[in-house]
Amino acid sequence: MVRGLPIYLDYAATTPLDPRVLEAMLPALTGDFGNAASRSHAYGWRAEALVKDARETLARALGGEAREIVFTSGATESDNLALLGAAHAAGPGKTHVVTSQLEHSAVLDSARQLEREGFRVTTLPPGADGVPGAASVAEAIGAETFLVSVMTANNETGTLNPVAEIGRVCRERNVLFHTDAVQAFGKVPFDVGSFPVDLVSISAHKVCGPKGIGALWVRSGAPRVRLAPLIHGGGHERGLRSGTLNVPAIVGFATAARLALESRVEESRRVAFLRDRLQAAILEAVPDALLNGHPAERLPGTLNLAFPGVDGDQLFLELSGLAVSPGAACSSDSLEPSHVLLALGRSPALARASIRFSLGRFTTATEVDAAAAQVAAAVRKLRVVSR
């Protein structure tokens, strides 16, 4: 916690930059400032070497090959490139996309754009267990389907989706499978060599890396994944994403990914312990609080709780000492309740009275205990006032 600021429990929105990541980035911000596309002198060669090393590091982290990494400005662009790029490169008669109601807005808004362009989109509701199941995906796939997009872990509840099963269904039907793995990457096991997946979106700032840099993993094996670029000019990134590469951020992304993977097992265990401690403390003080999302199949650091009988706006005003979120940061300025929680069956009032707590690398037990106490006090106060 930074002195004078609230306790930070919003790691799902963004993470603090790890000092080791900043240290790795500094040479690329100063001496190695060249353009990685400048092939005629040493400044460009040195920048190109940094990008090459970073690409290989990220590929190893995903279990893929370096040539399969396409750098983007972040996960939103990666999701857009996956959906729109696949659609614009799809063959004749391929006009159908399958996704779920629980997806990030970058996927859902891209799907809506495809509908405006004449494509047909099926948006699956969650099953009884709160996840889009492989059976419902299989039922939705038809002769015109070219792409299924289902996230690995939900950004609001932390619930893990059965992406391996969904991927197998897609592979059997010769349909591309894209997963937004932004929240899961570096936190739970994920290997493109083991999962039948074709396109994977990841982002640096969710793993204590810099903002403004992400990647789309594009499978290179047969059958070939074809994408049409969204950004034109220069033919960078194998023609899939033109633009001068952000070398310092790319170096930071690779360093952040390496650090996350090196400590994933022990860090996930530590963070899950703190999450369970926070959940237990809040539920002891507020027994009627409701867990949003799957109770077991979830990310180690995410906890989403609903507080019945409390006005959501007033609750967040009372929690000025905590940096927490009502839902996804990308839509936090919206007056509408979370589309994820509504899809899971929560009422608009209960969705508004829900809090996403997300813990990470620098969260401490002291902060967790203080947060639980603040939540309990805020709920008690508001319930007394509302009587």
Which long-range contacts link 39-47 to residues 24+ away (Cβ below 8 Å)?
A: 47/245, 47/247
- The pLDDT of 64-82, averaged and rounded, is 97
Instruction: Taking residues 76-93, report their average pLDDT.
Output: 96
Residue 115: pLDDT above 80?
A: yes
Q: Is the pLDDT of residue 330 over 80?
A: no
> CB neighbours (10 Å) of residue 206?
28
CA 199 – CA 137 distance, rounded (Å): 17
Amino acid letter at 280? A
Overall average pLDDT of the 203-212 stretch: 98
The residues near 327 (Cβ < 8 Å, ≥ 6 apart) are: 156, 337, 338, 340, 341, 354, 356
Would you say 196 and 167 are in contact if contact means Cβ atoms under 8 Å apart?
yes
Fold of 7-16+263-386: Aspartate Aminotransferase, domain 1 (3.90.1150)
Rounded (5°) CA angle 382-311-331: 135
Strands 302-306 and 290-291: antiparallel
pLDDT at residue number 386: 60
The full set of domain ranges for the chain reads 7-16+263-386, 19-262
* pLDDT greater than 90 at residue 239: no
Going by pLDDT thresholds of 50, 70 and 90, the confidence category of residue 2 is low
Q: Does the pTM of the predicted model rise above 0.85?
A: yes
Length of the chain: 387
pLDDT at site 28: 95
Encode pLDDT of 214-232 as tens digits. Answer: 999 999 987 789 999 999 9
Separation between Cα atoms, residue 245 and residue 50, nearest integer Å: 11
Strands 96-100 and 290-291 come out as: unpaired
Q: What is the DSSP string of 235-290?
A: -TGGGTS-S---HHHHHHHHHHHHHHHHTHHHHHHHHHHHHHHHHHHHHHHSTT-E
360 neighbors 302 (Cβ within 8 angstroms): no
Q: Tens digits of per-residue pLDDT, 32-66? A: 999 999 989 999 999 999 999 999 999 999 999 99
Q: Is it the case that residue 329 has pLDDT exceeding 70? A: no
Which residue, among 281, 280, 302, has the nearest Cα to 293 in the 3D structure? 302
- The mean pLDDT of the chain is 94
Q: List pLDDT tens digits, range 335-346.
A: 689 999 999 999
What amino acid positions are annotated as catalytic residues? 330
Residue 210 has pLDDT above 70, yes or no: yes
Can 7-16+263-386 and 19-262 be said to share one CATH topology? Answer: no
Q: Which residues contact 188 (CB under 8 A, 6 or more apart)?
A: 152, 153, 160, 264, 268, 299, 300
Q: Over the stretch 142-200, which tens digit does the pLDDT of each residue have?
A: 999 999 999 999 999 999 999 999 999 999 999 999 999 999 999 999 999 888 999 99
Mean pLDDT over 270-286 rounds to 98
Distance CA 201, CA 179 (A): 7
CATH number listed for the domain at residues 19-262: 3.40.640.10
Q: Note the pLDDT tens digit of each residue in 345-360.
A: 999 999 999 999 999 9
Coil, helix or strand at residue 205? helix
Q: How far is it, in rounded angstroms, from Cα 158 to Cα 161?
A: 9
